[in-house]
DNA sequence: AACTAGGCT
DNA sequence: GTATAAGCCTAGTTG
């Protein structure tokens, strides 16, 4: 790696995590206690501060080592359960797109299925590159991305990206209709809603504002119901988990929430049952027309977790 | 205080 | 003609 970039990566890790986290340990509990804000994000997500424990590194090898410092207390294990593709599942549900719903019902690899549809090939003929492109469009979809935006995150030319987006919407017409409906609703009503009814307002869309601001608000209006519904569902799950654990006579405790992931601590001999209860509660927190699948991992620390 | 860079979902 | 991917928090620099 270029030494400037390497220096940036390491200095970020040192200043934000290595230097800052140890002094954040509360001497009375021996733990770091973050603050969660319920009004920290306009979409309904939680935010975390002092310190932020929702941005602990994982992407690079050096960064991941920070996670090894988050360890279970004696006799316990950390259990991490996250929703699989929750935002795309929410899109499939709200858009009622048959193709997307079928893919999730069959628990297919959604990016591979999308690639197969766009490139018109069978699932086993999907190449890495095809899947990478499909992943980029699925990801961009959630953020209201344009064809030009797709060229920023892929090696596609603008003409290829435009063609790609066009084909995508032909193959997933429900998604196209859904997005157009959201744009229309945001412009006419001045707000959009999550599945559970929480609103986010977009004043610029109803006034004469410059195109940049309107375009930005349009993207935000597309993202808000998706990200916001995921946040709603996670919050419901978080309310249900403590009583569910209690009813099952389990002593596990929720420690952290990282948007689509919950980290718990539980006795070693309760791991399997705790995972079962947590996964079940998360999956059924707010049933959609397709299952909400979860993945569970466990380990002695947040940095070294194995699939159950 | 404003800005940039960079960590996460 | 122009800009173009959502939501956060923290550290370091600049003025």
| Close Cβ partners of A71 (under 8 Å, ≥ 6 residues apart) | A78, A300, A301, A302
C-beta of residue A158 within 8 angstroms of C-beta of residue A167: no
Per-residue CB contacts under 7 A with strand B, chain A residues 243-302: 258-261
Q: Give the pLDDT score at A120.
A: 96
Run of H or E residues at A133: helix A128-142
Please say if the pLDDT value at position A307 is more than 80.
yes
The CA–C1' separation of A8 and B9, in angstroms, is 22
Of all protein residues, which has its CA closest to the C1' atom of C1? A211
pLDDT tens for A12-26 read 999 999 999 999 999
> Strand C nucleotides below 7 A of a protein CB?
1-12
- In the sheet where A253-257 sits, what is the strand order? A253-257, A261-267, A76-83, A294-301, A304-307
Which of A78, A90, A53 shows the shortest CA–CA distance to A258? A53
Of all protein residues, which has its CA closest to the C1' atom of C2? A212
Percent of chain A with pLDDT over 90: 95
- Nucleic strand C within 7 A of Cβ A59: no
C-beta of residue A81 within 8 angstroms of C-beta of residue A277: no
How far apart, in whole angstroms, are the C-alpha atoms of residue A132 and residue A270? 39
Q: Give the pLDDT score at A133.
A: 96
Average pLDDT for residues A196-206, to the nearest whole number? Answer: 94
Q: Which nucleotide is nearest to A139 (CA to C1')?
A: C5
Q: Quick one: pLDDT band at residue A268, thresholds 50, 70, 90?
A: very high
Q: Give the pLDDT score at A210.
A: 85
| Close Cβ partners of A74 (under 8 Å, ≥ 6 residues apart) | none
- Nucleic strand B within 7 A of Cβ A58: yes
Q: Give the pLDDT score at A262.
A: 98
Average pLDDT for residues A24-41, to the nearest whole number? Answer: 97
Strand stretches in chain A, DSSP E: 25-26, 31-32, 35-37, 47-49, 76-83, 191-193, 199-201, 253-257, 261-267, 294-301, 304-307
Classify each residue of A189-224 as buried b or exposed e, where b means 16 or more C-beta atoms within 10 Å of its C-beta: ebbbbbbeebebbbebbbeeeeeeebeebbbbbbbb
Q: Give the pLDDT score at A29.
A: 97
Please say if the pLDDT value at position A305 is more than 80.
yes
- Nucleic strand B within 7 A of Cβ A9: yes
Enter the pTM of the model.
0.96
The CA–C1' separation of A266 and B4, in angstroms, is 41
Mean pLDDT of chain A: 96
Q: Give the pLDDT score at A130.
A: 96
Q: Quick one: pLDDT band at residue A206, thresholds 50, 70, 90?
A: confident
Q: Quick one: pLDDT band at residue A208, thresholds 50, 70, 90?
A: confident
3-state secondary structure of A183: helix
Per-residue CB contacts under 7 A with strand C, chain A residues 137-166: 139-140, 143-146, 148-150, 152-153
Full DSSP string of A18-71:
ITTSGGGEETTTTEE--EEETTSSTTS--EEESS--S----SSHHHHHHHTT-B
* Domain extent listing, chain A: 87-228
3-state secondary structure of A294: strand
Q: Which nucleotide is nearest to A45 (CA to C1')?
A: C7
pLDDT tens for A278-296 read 999 999 999 999 999 999 9
Of all protein residues, which has its CA closest to the C1' atom of B9? A259
Q: What's the length of chain A?
A: 308
CATH T-level topology, domain A87-228: DNA polymerase; domain 1 (1.10.150)
């Amino acid at each position: 790696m270029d030494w400037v970039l390497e220096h940036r990566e390491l200095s970020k890790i040192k200043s934000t995590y290595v230097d800052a986290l140890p002094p954040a340990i509360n001497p009375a509990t021996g733990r770091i206690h973050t603050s969660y804000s319920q009004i920290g994000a306009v979409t309904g997500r939680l935010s975390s501060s002092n310190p932020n424990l929702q941005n602990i590194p994982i992407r690079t090898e050096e960064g991941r080592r920070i996670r090894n410092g988050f360890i279970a207390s004696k006799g316990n294990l950390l259990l991490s359960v996250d929703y699989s593709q929750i935002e795309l599942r929410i899109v499939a549900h709200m858009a009622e797109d048959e193709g997307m719903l079928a893919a999730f019902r069959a628990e297919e690899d959604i990016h591979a299925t999308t690639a197969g549809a766009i490139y018109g090939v069978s699932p086993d003929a999907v190449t890495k590159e095809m899947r990478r492109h499909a992943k980029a469009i699925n990801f961009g979809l959630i953020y209201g991305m344009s064809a030009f935006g797709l060229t920023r995150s892929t090696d596609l030319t603008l003409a290829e990206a435009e063609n790609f987006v066009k084909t995508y919407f032909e193959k997933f017409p429900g998604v196209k209709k859904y997005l157009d409906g959201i744009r229309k609703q945001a412009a006419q009503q001045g707000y959009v809603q999550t599945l559970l009814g929480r609103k986010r307002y977009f004043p610029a869309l109803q006034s004469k504002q410059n195109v940049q601001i309107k375009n930005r608000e349009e993207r935000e209006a597309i993202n808000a119901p998706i990200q916001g519904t995921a946040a709603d569902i996670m919050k419901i799950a978080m309310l249900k988990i403590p009583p569910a654990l209690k009813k099952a006579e389990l002593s596990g405790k929720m420690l952290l929430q990282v948007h689509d992931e919950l980290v718990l601590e539980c006795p070693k001999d309760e791991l399997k049952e705790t995972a079962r209860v947590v996964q079940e509660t998360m999956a059924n927190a707010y049933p959609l027309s397709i299952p909400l699948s979860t993945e569970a991992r466990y380990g002695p620390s947040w940095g070294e977790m194995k699939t159950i």
